[in-house]
Amino acid sequence: MASHPTVDMRDIHFVLFELLEIEKLGRFPAFADLTRAECEESLRLASRISDDILYEANREADRLGIDYDAATKEVRIPSGMKKALSAYYEAGFLRIADSHDEGGMGMPETIAFSCNEIFTAASMSFFTYPILGHGNATLLRNFGTDEQRALYMENILSGRWGGSMCLTEPGAGSDVGALRTKAARLSDGSFRISGQKTFISCGEGDLYENIIHFVLARIEGDPEGTRGISLFIVPKYPVRSDGSFGPLNDVVCTGIERKMGLHGSPTCTMVFGENGECVGRLLGKEREGMRMMFHMINEARLAVARQGLAVASSAYLHSLSYARERLQGQDPANPAAGVQVPIIRHPDVRRMLLRMRSYVDGMRMLAYYTALQIDTARHASGDEAAEAGSLVDFLIPICKAGCTDTGVLVSSEAVQVHGGYGFCADYPVEQLYRDVRIAPIWEGTNAIQSLDLIMRKMLLDPGRRMYGLWKDRVLSTVEDCRPLVDGKYVSAVERAVKALDEAVAVMKARYEARDTLQIYADATVLQQAFFMASLAWMHLWGLSKAIEKSGMDPAALPIEAEGDSGKSFFVGRALASRFYLGVEFPLFFGKVDSVLANERAVVDCAPEFYSGS
Ligand SMILES: Cc1cc2nc3c(=O)[nH]c(=O)nc-3n(C[C@H](O)[C@H](O)[C@H](O)COP(=O)(O)OP(=O)(O)OC[C@H]3O[C@@H](n4cnc5c(N)ncnc54)[C@H](O)[C@@H]3O)c2cc1C
């Protein structure tokens, strides 16, 4: 039993094994020998490391922060983080979803996702370290030469060397194509790199023997914009062919950001080639930097969606513990008793808790479902693989934007449940609220996700194939659930699909009329509507599964479940789904209405109209 309330292990098991039935992945040769016991052991181990080491390390890192020495340009990471990372690497979690041939544990992505949810719920800062190294190793695997793979991959994947991903510059954030970092050809085929990168997570630190920076830069003479960008491997210490290190590669961290949260993860300003001596090697082909980055973008964005889910989970469970203990006011159901009751007895606190839970449960179902489609796309063949891949492409911006915005919403609600104490550092929810705030910003802001969904994944998708696939899956769930679930919930989801059809048709008409500004103005609202509808789809499915598994009479909910923890889990889950579908989901229709209304205030509001002075 975990001592820190960060994730609901029963719910994780429910989603993996009862809802998604991931054991069916055994039909693919890669998972033929995989057992449920092995999956459960990985979950248990992730939970043990998180609970025993990482949770406290995260609190300590928030208090102490990262130390930057301006004289030596060194960055020191709190010791607890180092200990937690060692445990993580030793247990092999960095390679959990890599195949046995690649030296990994050969687990499905879905199991890796759930283990990583457990780690991230204990510490959002923590996960920035290993994820960057793993991302770089994936790029090397896909695009590196044999020599590059031999030189770097094993050292990165064993946790001896770290990694960073250097895209952002002072003048190039969302607009990566505006970057100015330069690469000049050298006679031996390498490149002299020069430029400044900002906001680089884990760009410097004393955790690793070496840090392998992956740097986006423009080779001299190459075109402006994204099509002129190449990707370079720039080690902090050059690695000789015998594995020994050369002197520092003219890469320095000139400062770290003072941030509202994520104090356990250094965010560095990195200067490359101040003395003209920074050397990098091209990865893949010239001018294909952005294409290669896109290759791993789905997994990176789903990992950020997981941050929203994981922090929301922790915020919810901390709030639940608090609400069960904090005494305030009289029992509203029995005011005459004259005794103070835990705040969980107050309907408004119950409303907040159920709202939080309904979002956490919904996000978990949606994100795990998406991870399962990644497994299917990788291991199935023909139409099945293609369909799963297209579904992943469609769901990624929905998950990234929806789960991260909701992570902020749920952690804010957690502060509210705690009252004034929630605003104070003695209680963990204050840190959760600060930490998760970056998630809607990085890995493509949520505005960029909305544009990706509405433009690339919908209006520019021939025949709106991806949207059609999403709709087919939703409507098939509707049919499956009809016999078991109260008709009002089923019809809400059916009506939602019709409403989205209308909104998509309106967007299409605008596209044909070249009214792109109005499309851009409504993109976020429509993305939010898609997220809400996707959660409703999941909740309908989850509700029917909870009814089926528990043998509950759906007409008689809630049932008496006291003393039967097996049943009370399903009752709670069913009530969270009912809350989402009955109380939260009606807001979806308002969002669609606002798109249909074609209100042009945003387009008409030119910059000079935004203030009176
Ligand atoms: C803690 C932290 C860690 C980070 N780690 C890394 C890292 O490891 N590597 C790395 O390369 N970067 C990293 N970043 C940078 C991060 O990815 C960028 O901050 C992010 O991409 C946004 O860029 P920006 O900050 O320049 O904001 P801007 O691009 O200036 O955006 C400002 C606002 O304008 C909106 N906007 C901009 N362009 C458009 C558009 N075309 N359409 C609609 N809206 C638009 C944005 O949505 C946003 O609301 C990190 C940032 C932080 C804070």
In a domain, 354, yes or no: no
Question: What is the mean pLDDT of the segment spanning 548-576?
Answer: 76
Count structural domains, the chain. 2
Nearest CA to ligand 1 atom 52: 199
How far is Cα 360 from Cα 432, in angstroms, rounded to an integer? 14
pLDDT in tens, 477-501: 999 999 999 999 999 999 999 999 9
Helix (H, G, I), strand (E, B) or coil at 404: helix
Among 263, 289, 315, give the residue marking a domain's end.
289
C-beta 412 within 6 A of ligand 1: no
* Residue at 577 is within a domain: yes
- Assess whether the C-beta atom of 496 lies below 6 angstroms from ligand 1: no
In a domain, residue 412? The reply is no
Ligand 1 neighbourhood includes 201 CB (under 6 angstroms): yes
Q: Is 267 in the pocket of ligand 1 (CB under 6 A)?
A: yes
Whether 339 is in a domain gets the answer no
Residue reference for tokens 């884990």: 202
Across the chain, what does the average pLDDT equal? 96
Helix (H) / strand (E) containing 162: strand 161-166
Query: Would you state the pLDDT for residue 30?
Result: 97
Which string of DSSP letters, residue by residue, matches 493-550?
HHHHHHHHHHHHHHHHHHHHTT-HHHHHHHHHHHHHHHHHHHHHHHHHHHHHHHHHHH
Which CATH number covers residue 247? 2.40.110.20
Q: Give the list of residues 6+ apart from residue 248 with CB closer than 8 angstroms, or none.
A: 236, 237
CA 369 – ligand 1 centroid, Å: 28
Q: With respect to residue 374, please indicate whether it lies within any of the assigned structural domains.
A: no
Q: What is the dihedral of CA 384, 295, 38, 92, to 10 degrees?
A: 170
CA atoms within 13 A on the CB side of 57: 28
* Alpha carbon nearest to ligand 1 atom 6, residue: 200
pLDDT higher than threshold 80 for residue 562: no
Report the pLDDT value the prediction gives residue 558, as an integer from 0 to 100. Answer: 55
Smallest CA separation from ligand 1 atom 11, residue: 167
* pLDDT band (50, 70, 90) for residue 566: confident
Burial environment of residue 443 by CB neighbours within 10 A (0 to 12, 13 to 18, 19 or more)? buried
Dump pLDDT digits (tens) for 320-332: 999 999 999 999 9
Cα angle vertex 397, ends 597, 368, to 5°? Answer: 120
In a domain, 529, yes or no: yes
Percentage of the chain beyond pLDDT 70 is 98
Residues 498-538: tens digit of each pLDDT: 999 999 999 999 999 999 999 999 999 999 999 999 999 99
Judge whether 56 counts as a catalytic residue: no
Is there an atom of ligand 1 within 6 Å of 438 CB? yes
Residue numbers of the domain that contains 225:
132-289
Tell me, in angstroms, the distance from the centre of ligand 1 to residue 585's CA: 30
Orientation of helix 382-417 relative to helix 297-325, angle to 10°: 30
What pLDDT, on a 0 to 100 scale, did the predictor assign at position 551?
A: 82
Would you say the CB of residue 307 lies under 6 angstroms from ligand 1? no
Q: How far apart are CA 114 and CA 364, in angstroms?
A: 9
384-405 residue pLDDT tens: 999 999 999 999 999 999 999 9
Q: Is the CB of 527 under 6 A from ligand 1?
A: no
Average pLDDT (451-460) is: 97
At 536, which amino acid appears?
A: A
Residue where a domain terminates, one of 239, 255, 289: 289
**pLDDT tens digits for range 416-441:** 999 999 999 999 999 999 999 999 99
Residue whose Cα lies nearest atom 43 of ligand 1: it is: 447
The percent of residues in the chain predicted with pLDDT above 90, rounded, is: 93
173 Cβ inside 6 Å of ligand 1: yes
Q: Give pTM, 2 decimals.
A: 0.97
For ligand 1, say whether the CB of 441 is within 6 Å of any of its atoms: yes
Distance 168 CA to ligand 1 centre (A): 8
Ligand 1 atom closest to the CA of 444, numbered from 1: 21
Instruction: Give distance in angstroms: CA of 78 to centre of ligand 1.
Output: 27
Most informative mutation of 441, 524, 602 for ligand 1 (most atoms within 8 A of CB): 441
98 pLDDT more than 70: yes
C-alpha 440: how far from its chain's center? Answer: 9
Q: pLDDT grade, residue 561 (50/70/90)?
A: low
Average pLDDT over residues 450-456: 98
Mean local confidence (pLDDT), 110-133: 96
Q: Ligand 1: which atom is nearest the Cα of residue 167? A: 11
What confidence category does residue 613 fall into, taking pLDDT thresholds of 50, 70 and 90?
Answer: confident
* Atom 4 of ligand 1, nearest CA residue: 199
Is 22 inside a domain boundary? no
Give 435 Cα–ligand 1 centroid separation in angstroms.
16
Cα(267) to centroid(ligand 1), Å:
13
Q: What mean pLDDT comes out for the span 368-396?
A: 97
Task: Give the span between the Cα atoms of 613 and 372, in whole angstroms.
Answer: 53
CA of 164, closest atom in ligand 1: 8
User: Of the residues 289, 307, 327, which one is the last residue of a structural domain?
Assistant: 289
β 210-219/161-166 pair status: parallel
- Residue-level pLDDT at 556: 59
Among the listed residues 443, 502, 548, 599, the single catalytic one is 443
Residue to probe by mutation, ligand 1, list 75, 174, 262, most atoms within 8 Å of CB:
174
Q: What is residue 289's three-state secondary structure?
A: helix
Ligand 1 near 166 CB (within 6 A) = yes
- Cβ(225)–Cβ(395) under 8 Å? no
Q: Is 445 in the pocket of ligand 1 (CB under 6 A)?
A: yes
Residue 195 is assigned to a structural domain of this protein: yes
